[in-house]
Structure 1
Amino acid sequence: IAFVLPLADSWRARSTLLLLGLFALSIHPLGGVPILLLLGLSLLALMRRVRWRQAGLCVGSVMALLALPALFVLYNLASGQSPVSPQSQMLSRFFTLFTDPYLPGALPIPFFVELFYDAMRWVPRFVVVLALFFAWRRRQTLTVSPVPMLILTGSLLGSLFLLSGFFTFADVIHYEQMEFAWRLLQTMFLLTTPWALVFLARLWKQYGGFSFERMSLLSLLMVIFITATWYLSYPQLNLKVRNAGASVSATDVEVARFLESRYDGESFLVLSHQMTSAAAIQESGFRHYLKTDDGLALWYAIPTGGKLYGYFLRMSMDGPTPELLNEIREFANVRHVYFVTYDSWPNAGFIRSRAASFADASYGVQGTKLVIYEYE
């Protein structure tokens, strides 16, 4: 929609795009709301009366600033949370979104690796900032007005500050609390991409008389940048990126199918990490619910901000004990509990020895890659 919008220069065309915006909203509100705001501001920019247009854009900018925070206020109220939770060090949390997202490791990182990741993080941002500045300077001469995009960018930056500094989200684990703000930042970059391309196209046209040597160098840089972008689009594992990111494996699917095959009508709880839980939902859907002391919950330990996942973390770090297991049973109101362990854990041997000491049964999947302990 962001790429097609500059071609829609009439009320009818942009009204048609609103339908696509509503469709985007139904798929993913965090992406659909900014698109609808952009379309709304673009419609307001078509007003012929200057005062009405200026007033409409001012009101639209305020709505764009508050739209997403207002939706998250409603979400927190529906979740039984405090609607707003001002955080300490608000500015620090906001600027963290623009800093290096990778945690430092024990081993030294070569300079060229640091340079590569820094360049791939800052070059696109630098181009976007230049593109927006270019759009503002040329707003009177460009065929399509960049004013709606400029207003939306400023308003979404304000929303980004509010989301990062004033909200705590229910059922979201502490290290993922900034995820919504991070996704909004990515959405902002995507929405400004068309103007970045316009800016680069103007540069290419202006300096089209480059010599063969300069054009060859520019082409080489573009090839390197595109290749690097392709590399970064995949999970990495190196001195800079120490965690490639877990994903659902065939073993997780096998575990989910095995545990589902043992269902005999009695509710049971499975304590496992997110990928095994995701495999269970993939295979079985939202088939089973437990009546816990906190209300209805899925039979796997998700969401990660829920109390069941907290129990899984305690068992996977400190090891299970009969007392802890009884506490879990009382909270989840179940008798039958499965605990899934993984050989990728640094302390897998210790955890498995404690889990096996009082388990009623154990099952290995693909050898000992995953071991399931059953407690009845």
Structure 2
Amino acid sequence: MFLRLYSTTFTFLFLGIFLANVLIFHQPLLGGILLGTALLFYGKLLAHRLSPKHLWLGIFFLLSSLVCVGSFAYYLLPFTSEVALAVFLFCLPLWLWFGSHGHPQEKESSPTQQKLPMWFWIATAFVALGCVAGFFLLVTHTTTEAIRTPWDQIPSAFFLIIFLSFLLLSGLLFLGQGRSVTHLLTSGMLFLFLTIALIIYPLGYGFDTFIHQATEQHIATFGSITPQPLYYTGQYVLVLLTHHLFFLPVIWADKLLVPLLAALLLPLAWYHAALRLLHDKRIATASLIGLFLLPLSSWIVTTPQGLANLFVLLTILASAPLLIAREGPRPFQLLLPTLATLLIHPLAGIPLLLYLAFLLSRPSEVQKQQERFARIFSVIIFVLTCLALPLSFLLNALVAHQTIAFSWDRLWHLEGMETLVSFFSFHRIFTPLLDGVYSFGSALPLIFCAIALVAWWIGKRSLDGRLRPLGLISMALFLNYVFLSTVVEFTFLIEYERANYADRLLPLLLFFLTPFVIAGLGMAMAKAKTWPISLRALFLIFLCGLALSNLYLTYPRDDACITAVSLVASDAGDDSYLVLANQSVSAAAIRLLGFEEHYFGSQYRYPIPTGGTLYHFFLAMNENPSQETALQSASLVRGLCATDLSCTQDRVIHVYFIVNTYWWDSARIIETAKGTANKWMSAGNGKNYIFRYDLE
């Protein structure tokens, strides 16, 4: 009764200020405060029914309800500020009713207060200072230039600061003390990991984000867009509600949506699931280190796929207490975030909907006399899940009058699965540090799966039956990936984008394995606590190395060019050589080799500046790769070296010609050069081709 009275009183007060800002003041600062207040208060109210003490769950369901109601309104009416206000006012009494009626589904004891030692607060201050320093370095190195990778812009001190800060944070998490503080630090560190592109590229990053931001801006101005999109409305609705009701700019509401939600909700959701899986608060806190081993690239920018992936993982983590102890949200309640995910992006929503069907068909969810029917229904759902995504693409192609071809021969040869094969490849960058990063980073998905498999094997009696729906949906997603990668050919897409849809399933597969990974990490953490302190330190350093490798590989790299430069230097050995390449490769050469001992008189070993004579030889090689052009370029630098007394280079005997596959007409250039060069090789998984012309 008190909760109902308190909630009603607060709502009247909130509505008075909220409506005054909507109708009169239009202040973004006040709007931001009201938005945060609404999420905290009504999220807490919803969490009271779903899972007390877990605020994140209430906020997640609040956002899901806004997505569902807002999308329904968007399909029926122009989404103006009046419609946005109506959506919010419609949801408000629903939140009040749900949160203040009935009884909590899960009871927890109040946390016991403990006095934390001084060293804990000193370590906390250093972690916070490291995060602030990391943000400062990013803010002071923003650029409006069209750079290919943010890592060229960020100083190397950033990695040292982040490594030391994360190592210290890992130590705090491993000890498991001061959980509220360490959870806050984890959110701050994760936000730093996810906002590098947002800060370094103030004009925006990625192609899709510009398209979606332009669409949201158009709908905010005119209320609709033609043709009306059937997908992505969930993201548009959240951005437009934030803009119309709280007066935050569309661009910033879009930019911050996914990185901020991921940083705030994922650590809390992970801990909530870990607590039920591991039954130990300290071990559950230590397992939070594994959060940084997830495929983070989904959440570095706001896209419908990224937002939907976030909703998928949050729903999976929300279902863990139900699977383990029949606590938390019930399957019919999980239908709300599942429908929201479908409205954001069906590629993520369809597997989640089928996972919900698995939950509903569990024997524990039906009466005893219906258990046989439930098992049969589970088999049907599994078969349907294995075919769901190819069938949905086929149906969509028929509706949109697009062409999809089927090539069954590719299935037997497993053609088209380059992304999966790359996990088993050892990448040589020819620099020890990057070799280590790629060794760790490329193996991360395999490490993820291995941890899940070991956890299942060790705890199969307790985990297999309870987490079986997650294992089945993971197997089905893998079969979907194989089928979409090999048999289905999206002929309406250009060739290098045809694997895009299938590759999006791999992060989803890892997300469905996450509860197994939490269990596996928990077992490892419990075991590590019995080790000597030196082994524990090495274990944490190893995990930090994995996390930083994951961070580096999350963002685009220019390593294909670095690999090419290293490979050329390795191949030439002690012989004097010259390279004909584009500006990106030349920049990589300067970064890797420096300037010393690489000049032939006034000419650098690579064609810089781009207006110089050597660069014209590179352009001539693009027109017609030939031994004659290579010899002419060598004659140029030989002449420069002969007239410059400071030149100490030996006579050039190798000319290397590097072709990037993104270069115009690269296929013709590569095939022609193969017939004229003395030797050729590829670098960066086929992104660069290197041709050697021997002059002596």
The two structures have a TM-score, normalised by structure 1, of 0.58
Determine whether 1:76 maps to 2:393. Answer: no
CA displacement at 1:102 relative to structure 2: 12
Matched, 1:33 2:381: no
The answer to whether the 8 Å contact 1:74/1:83 transfers is no
Hey, what's the Cα distance between the residues in 2 that align with 1:154 and 1:14? Answer: 21
Which residue of the partner structure matches residue 236 of structure 1?
Answer: 557
**Deviation (angstroms), 1:196:** 0.7
> Is 1:161 aligned to 2:482, yes or no?
yes
Note if contact 2:338-2:349 (Cα within 8 Å) is conserved in structure 1: yes
What RMSD in Å do the two structures reach over aligned CA positions? 3.4
Change (3 A) 1:139 1:55: farther
Q: Following the alignment from structure 1 to structure 2, what is the Cα–Cα distance between the partners of residues 69 and 15?
A: 27
The 1:214/1:138 distance shift into structure 2, 3 A limit, reads same
What secondary structure sits across from 1:171 in the alignment? coil
* Matched position secondary structure for 1:228: helix
Offset of residue 122 of structure 1: 1.7
**2:517 aligns to what?**
196
List alignment gaps of at least 5 residues for structure 2: 1-314, 565-621, 624-661, 666-696
Aligned residue in 2 for 1:2 = 316
* Deviates further, 134-143 or 118-127: 134-143
Distance in 2, matches of 1:143 and 1:169, equals 37
Residues 94 and 146 (structure 1), Cα distance of their counterparts in 2 relative to 1, 3 Å cut: farther
Deviation at 1:199, TM superposition (A): 1.0
1:198–1:122 Cα change, 3 Å: same
Q: Residue 64 of structure 1: CA displacement?
A: 0.8
Equivalent of 1:54 in 351, 375, 393: 375
Instruction: Give the equivalent residue in structure 1 for 2:506.
Output: 185
Contact 2:429 2:435 in 1 (8 A): no
Q: Which structure exhibits the higher relative contact order, with contacts defined as CA atoms closer than 8 Å and separated by 6 or more residues?
A: 1
Q: Contact between 2:407 and 2:486, CA under 8 Å: does it hold in 1?
A: yes
* Structure 1 match to 2:337: 20
Q: Secondary structure at the match of 1:3?
A: helix
Shift of 1:119: 2.5
Shift of residue 131, structure 1, vs aligned partner: 1.1
- State whether residues 416 and 486 of structure 2, in contact with CA within 8 Å, keep that contact through their aligned partners in structure 1: yes
Distance 1:31 1:156 in 2: 11
Residues 219/237 of structure 1: CA separation in 2 closer, same or farther (3 Å cut): same
The one of 88, 99, 104 equivalent to 2:421 is 99
Shift of residue 171, structure 1, vs aligned partner? 3.3
After superposition, give the CA deviation of every residue in 1:178-215 in whole Å (9 maximum; x if it has no partner).
11000011211122223212211122113421111011
CA distance in 2, matches of 1:185, 1:44: 25
Q: SS where residue 504 of structure 2 aligns?
A: helix
> Could you tell me whether the CA contact under 8 Å between 2:409 and 2:487 is conserved in 1?
no
The answer to which of 200-209 and 49-58 deviates more is: 49-58
Task: Judge conservation of contact 1:38–1:149 (CA < 8 Å) in 2.
Answer: yes
Match of 1:141 in 2: 462
The answer (yes or no) to whether the contact 1:113–1:240 under 8 Å persists in 2 is: no
CA distance change for structure 1 residues 19 and 132 in 2, over 3 Å: closer, same or farther?
Answer: farther
Letter of the 1:213 partner, please give it: S
Counterparts of 1:103 and 1:130 in 2: how far apart (Å)? Answer: 19
| Partner SS for 1:99 | helix
- The Cα offsets for residues 278-319 of structure 1, whole Å up to 9 and x where unpaired, read as xxxxxxxxxxxxxxxxxxxxxxxxxxxxxxxxxxxxxxx99x
Counterparts of 2:562 and 2:465 in 1: how far apart (Å)? 41
Q: Choose which of 87, 109, 116 in structure 1 pairs with 2:437.
A: 116
The Cα of 1:54 is off from its aligned counterpart by 2.0
Q: Does 1:227 align with 2:548?
A: yes
**Partner Cα distance (1:181, 1:118) in 2:** 24
SS at match of 2:414: helix
Distance change >3 Å, CA 52–CA 135, structure 1 → 2: farther
The within-5 A match list for 1:122-137 is: 122-135=443-456
Q: Is the 8 A contact 2:489 2:498 kept in 1?
A: yes
> Secondary structure of the equivalent of 1:172?
coil
Partner of 1:205: 526
Partner of 1:302: none
After TM superposition, the structure 1 = structure 2 runs for residues 285-304 of structure 1, keeping only pairs within 5 Å, are none
5 Å-filtered alignment, 1:337-352, equals none
Identity in percent: 21
User: Residues 136 and 222 (structure 1 numbering): CA distance in 2 closer, same or farther, change over 3 Å?
Assistant: closer
Name the structure with the higher helix share: 2
1:208-357 paired onto structure 2 within 5 Å: 208-239=529-560
Aligned length in residues: 248
Residue 103 of structure 1 and its aligned partner are, at CA, apart by 12
CA distance in 2, matches of 1:211, 1:103: 34
Range with greater deviation from structure 2 (94-103 or 150-159)? 94-103
How far apart are residue 37 of structure 1 and its match?
1.5
Q: Name the CA distance, whole Å, in 2 between partners of 1:128 and 1:210.
A: 25
Give the whole-Å Cα distance in 1 for the aligned partners of 2:460 and 2:439.
31
- CA deviation digits over 1:298-346, x for unaligned, max 9? xxxxxxxxxxxxxxxxxxx99xxxxxxxxxxxxxxxxxxxxxxxxxx96
